[in-house]
Amino acid sequence: MQEGSLSLTPSFRIFYLRLLGFCFLYFSSVAGTQAECPVQLSQQRVVVRYNGSVAVNCNTSITHKGMGWEASEGAVPMTRDKMITWRVSHLTEWDIEPFCFINHEEQCQVQLLVTIYKTPDSVSISIVDHSGPMIEGQQYKLQCDVHDVAPVQNLTVKWYKGQTLLDKTTFTEDSKTPLNETATLLIRPDRADDGAQYSCAAELELGAEGPQPPPNKTSESLSFTVYFKPIIDENKLPSIVPVFRGYPEVLVCEAEGNPKPTISWILGTNVIVYNETLTISESTPEHVYCIADNSAGRTTRQVNVSIQDISISTVSHTGPMIAGEWYELQCFIQNVVFKIVDVRWYKLNQINVTETIKTPANLTYKVRIRPDRADDGAQFWCEAKLEAKGPQRYSTMSSDHLSITVHSKPIIDENKLPSIVPVFRGNPEVLVCEAEGNPKPTISWILGTNVIVYNETLTISESTPEHVYCVANNSVGRTTRQVNVSIQDISISTVSHTGPMIAGEWYELQCFIQNVVFKIVDVRWYKLNQINVTETIKTPANLTYKVRIRPDRADDGAQFWCEAKLEAKGPQRYSTMSSDHLSITVHFKPIIDENKLPSIVPVFRGYPEVLVCEAEGNPKPTISWILGTNVIVYNESLTISESTPEHVYCVANNSVGRTTRQVNVSIQDISISTVSHTGPMIAGEWYELQCFIQNVVFKIVDVRWYKLNQINVTETIKTPANLTYKVRIRPDRADDGAQFWCEAKLEAKGPQRYSTMSSDHLSITVNSKPIIDENKLPSIVPVFRGYPEVLVCEAEGNPKPTISWILGTNVIVYNETLTISESTPEHVYCVANNSAGRTTRQVNVSIQDISISTVSHTGPMIAGEWYELQCFIQNVVFKIVDVRWYKLNQINVTETIKTPANLTYKVRIRPDRADDGAQFWCEAKLEAKGPQRYSTMSSDHLSITVHFKPIINENKLPSIVPVFRGYPEVLVCEAEGNPKPTISWILGTNVIVYNETLTISESTPEHVYCVANNSAGRTTRQVNVVLKEDYLPLIAGLIAVTVVFISVIFIFIYSIYYKTAKMGRYSLKDAKPSAQNENIAQNGKHSPIPMKKLSQSDILA
């Protein structure tokens, strides 16, 4: 290459430089030396995306004769600069090999390594030669297709399951241009791979000079189904199951598999039970088998049923036991297949009889008991703990419960029957003698020597003997208790006060005692049987005792009394006498009942709640509600909803004070939906609904399900453990559009203990098999000859059924309606079909005949005359209810004939001119059997011709017609009649013109006559001709003279104007612009147009 060389094409220049370079290298090799090329590249290797930009600098530090870049794209011409840049904005040459050259002492070059890459257009994953579910353990091939990628030698395909890298595939092809590549991976799926997501990713690993991270494109995920053989859960189904007589056990067989396995049990030779659970008892065979089966295989598990026996009994004793005596119980165990770890004895669920017996040496265990009266009716049993093999290591079996009866001597209740009883004069006392014993004791009282009362109670007064005795007796023994009767006097009153008391104020009570026969030990004050007023007064000095009280609201209506304790002589050392009761009234401030008005009230959207505010106070309080700043409601109840303020206040007020309670309103939500199902339901199938409850502040007591306001879906769920509740339903066709909802009952705090919230209504669509409407499609349909009938087949079903008709062997009509006639087969079938099923109904076609005719007459009728029509009916299969006659769709001919006696019916008519061409027919109403009770058949239409006398059209032929001299007129005579009339004109005595029109003039007679004639009659109309003078020619002459006069005046004026403007003919030939002269025509505004005026000779020439 030389300076100043000619411009060559790039390809030729590259070839020439390569040739020079080859020669240079060759001669350098021959000479045995090789000098280093004195240029440096900014990058030794570049990685560029296809159609991307690239820029690389080439520089030198020496003086040279020229340097440049040679490349098929972006070549840089030779220059003396010390740095030049190879730059390409859109690099598209796959095989480009640019190099930088320099002319120093000799020419040398340095090549730039260029890698052009392109990411794949698409990456897809698929299964090779397989579709549908895979089988566990079998081998399958996955294929990854990578489209249009370069360079292939830098491509790596990575295989993933989820986020886990499974394998890598690399490629050895040495191609710089894009290729399509395919990688494969062999897999052997197991049950854990069911639903797993597989994918492949194409990654270009372009080295350190390439983009980081490496370009990557991943396929869509491939998910497949893996079928695998069932595995029975052995933890839930042990191999040996003990069963105690009288106590059935439920076995549960659960298996995991895909598809979902079906579970069955084999009991003996021919007994198979299809269910996941099996109830076993002592009558169950010794060996049962659970079988889990699906399309991938079958698994069987044997269960051995072991019948167990354990019993409890007394040793050497029967019948009731005596309290305090010793007895022996024994526990007998047999048919035990497991090791007995210990045996325990129980009474009333407590291990309270004996210690545990460890590793017993035999199967009979005994224990000694000494029952007392408290053990009467007690239940004893024994329990053996067995060591079993399997996940449930220990099993326990219990004996029946042994109930014992214990007899004991009576014990009189001394707390209820004291030894000394004071009696106040005028106030009898009732003594109660109760005794505990078994058998139940009999009670009697001894009063004096010979008086015995057999009763548990005894009424005593001041007349009762001083000593009475209670006697309790049964088969074990007898007990007696003496009671001393002491007559007393005592009274109570307030001091210096009458009327109601105020809660919290102090008041004074006094107790006055007289006629006391015993020493007063102390005096006590009582309110409602409690010593809660003051301390005990020991050894009083006098017989009047006082006490101060400070009543509260609970004391309103309370009764106070005083009681004196007397020191008596005898076995019951002390006796007590009481005053009458003093009842007091206490006024107090209101107290709002918080049980009936909780502090938090749930409100369900769309369901208002009623709050009740009740307050206790004396006097009775008034109740009001405060809602917001200025809203006050005076009522005990308040209806709240979602629009109520968050806080409302109940205010109770009386003369003593005022009380306020705040209530927080909490909005609640509840919803209903289907589980694992969307869209319509199928009638008769099972589905599941769920009720979801949120934002509940109270405990849920139960949840109920409703359909059409009835609790008819499921039982109540008591105290649920979570907030989602489910129920199974089996809808039928009547449930299409039915509304279901759930209702939760909440346990709130307050007087209204329970609150209820309901979900929105869930409307369901139910698909059902078609039902053909038999009322609209009877089984027998009459058809009259010449009158096709339309059958309508309507069917109810969901989805809406498609309707078709079957006529004969191969004829099917797809339509809801079918037109039948006398040519239709005797039997046709309507078929209603939808996705839920198919219904067919047969229809029998019965051909009928009915006709109409005139009686004793043929041909046209004459208007105004009487004629008779008859209706003849034959081949009728049903009873005729009535026959009607019609003209132009109206029952306007005759009355209805009810219950005819024969099959020929007549009617008289008198047609007029309007009836010409009218159609008459008769119609019979038949009583059929079936849902469509009545059917109607009609005769053909009878069209009648009516002849009538002509009527001349007077609108077109007036009675007076004016005629102007010289101007004839044409008269038109039109007449309506049947048959069509002939028209003639009479002019004078003997002149008759046969035509519909007549031309008249001044010579026509004054009177002319139009005559219309047909076979039904003749009509005549007179026309009077009136002669008129014609002034039109005179008027036309005057107008012509006026026009001539005006024209003469116009011509005169125009000639004068022409001469003034010197108008003439002009020529532009040889004309030149010049100053204005008489030969120039002017426009008066702009430069003149050169013209030459033509002379007469010029015009002629």
CATH number of the domain at 86, please. 2.60.40.10
* Domain membership flag for residue 1: no
pLDDT at 823: 87
- Is 609 found in the same domain as 570? no
- Res 1020 pLDDT > 80: yes
- Is 208 found in the same domain as 126? yes
Tell the residue number behind the tokens 């918080």, with chain if given.
594
- Is 77 found in the same domain as 37? yes
- Is 847 found in the same domain as 706? no
- Is 456 found in the same domain as 324? no
* Domain membership flag for residue 4: no
- Is 301 found in the same domain as 315? no
Lowest-confidence segment of 22-36, 357-371, 476-490, 741-755 by average pLDDT: 22-36
Does a cis peptide bond (omega within 30 degrees of 0) precede residue 213? Answer: yes
Q: Kindly report, residue by residue over 400-458, the tens digit of the pLDDT.
A: 888 999 999 899 998 889 888 877 767 788 999 999 999 999 999 998 888 889 999 99
- Res 336 pLDDT > 90: no
Mean pLDDT (whole number) for 636-652: 90
* Domain membership flag for residue 1057: no
Contact status, residue 727 vs residue 712, Cβ threshold 8 Å: no
Which 3 state secondary structure label does DSSP give 678?
coil
- Is 505 found in the same domain as 361? no
* Domain membership flag for residue 20: yes
- Is 698 found in the same domain as 630? yes
Q: Kindly report, residue by residue over 918-969, the tens digit of the pLDDT.
A: 999 888 887 765 556 677 777 888 999 999 999 999 998 999 999 888 889 9
* Domain membership flag for residue 820: yes
**CA–CA separation, 95 vs 114, rounded Å?**
9
Predicted confidence band of residue 1069 (pLDDT cuts 50, 70, 90): low
pLDDT at 441: 94
Mean pLDDT (whole number) for 661-681: 85
Domain containing 1005: what range? 948-1028
Which 3 state secondary structure label does DSSP give 579?
coil
Residue 989 or 1077, more confident: 989
pLDDT at 459: 92
**CA–CA separation, 658 vs 650, rounded Å?**
11
* Domain membership flag for residue 1033: no
- Hey, CA dihedral for 590, 594, 595, 597, is it positive or negative? positive
Joined together, the tokens standing for residue 966 give 């010289």
pLDDT at 568: 61
- Chosen domain end from 408, 431, 464: 408
- Is 896 found in the same domain as 784? yes
Which 3 state secondary structure label does DSSP give 95?
coil
* Domain membership flag for residue 3: no
- Is 185 found in the same domain as 135? yes
* Domain membership flag for residue 785: yes
- Chosen domain end from 944, 977, 998: 944
**CA–CA separation, 860 vs 946, rounded Å?**
6
Q: What are the residues whose beta carbons fall under 8 Å from the beta carbon of 271, sequence distance 6 or more?
A: none
Which percentage of the chain shows pLDDT scores above 90? 36
- Is 877 found in the same domain as 795? yes
- Chosen domain end from 200, 224, 248: 224
Mean pLDDT (whole number) for 691-718: 67
Work out how many domains the chain is built from and give that number.
10
- Is 696 found in the same domain as 775? no
Closest CA relative to residue 237, chosen from 251, 255, 256, 257: 251
Q: Kindly report, residue by residue over 165-223, the tens digit of the pLDDT.
A: 999 999 988 889 999 999 999 999 998 899 999 999 999 999 988 999 999 999 999 99
